[in-house]
Amino acid sequence: YNDMPQKIVEYQQDRSIKDGDARLASPTEFKLKPTEFEITNQETGETTTYDFDDEKIIELETIEMLDSSTGEREETVYYVETEEDMLRLAYGESEMGATAAMNARGKVSYQYYLQGYETDRLKSLLYILHNESPGVVSAKKDKQVVRTLEVMKTLNNRENLVPVFVAYLGSLMGFFIVMAYIFYDKAEGVIRAFAVTPSSIWKYLISKIFVILTTVVVSSSIITIPVMGGQPNYLLFYIFLIITTFAVASLGLLVASFFDSISKAFGVMYAIMISL
């Protein structure tokens, strides 16, 4: 909301548009609903309650602020005719509102209406922005030393597909194959024959898990190492791969224990595979 002569507002807008810092957009309509809220002044501590019972539609002049270097839109500014409408709009849209006022000597002051979740750094930046000229702020900004901690590497198409194949081999196929092993041994009578031997049944089940685990580790290594090279942390990669494969294979053993054949377990099997 601008509490100043209209000619000055138009001059500021025209200058921003000519400098390439902004562009005029189509007017935007907003529906203001009945609402009630409180605003606390941080400097005085006073709290003001606003209560609006009416509902109305307002059409606002819209200016898009642009990045001076790229020309892309950074933010959108809406100019409201009254301060009350600005407060209602800021509260309803959960956005920042501001009032720009000019005194008799031509000095412009700004009052911001924040949402309460803004950081102290943003509040301090607003104070600095209007206490120093834009040229001084820009000069100090250019002198700031920025130290890059890490540069994120962009993966190509082949590298982006590696996690998909690893998840497919480790989770979906591990779950399906271990169930197929169990159902095959049930059909051939291997499990009943194994039950009468001195060996424990848990050793038989663990052996199936280790077969799947070995297959997954080898196949994932064949896919990952040639494509990714030395980029991944292979220690964490194999720890994560072993834990997830062991968990999924164990889940397959659990599901297989409730059914006699793979055809009877199709519904549960596909439901779990889709959820994975």
| Structural contact between residues 162 and 231, judged by C-beta atoms closer than 8 angstroms | no
What DSSP element (H or E) covers 213?
helix 201-228
Q: What whole-number distance in Å separates Cα of residue 126 and Cα of residue 134?
A: 12
Lowest mean pLDDT across 41-50, 128-137, 205-214, 236-245: 128-137
| Structural contact between residues 267 and 179, judged by C-beta atoms closer than 8 angstroms | no
pLDDT band at 188 (very low <50, low <70, confident <90, very high): confident
pTM (predicted TM-score): 0.47
pLDDT band at 137 (very low <50, low <70, confident <90, very high): low
For residue 265, what pLDDT is reported?
79
| Structural contact between residues 57 and 32, judged by C-beta atoms closer than 8 angstroms | yes
Burial of 175 (0-12, 13-18, 19+ CB in 10 A): buried
Structure confidence by residue, pLDDT tens digits, 191-233:
777 767 777 777 777 888 888 888 888 888 888 888 888 888 8
Q: What is the mean pLDDT of residues 120-141?
A: 72
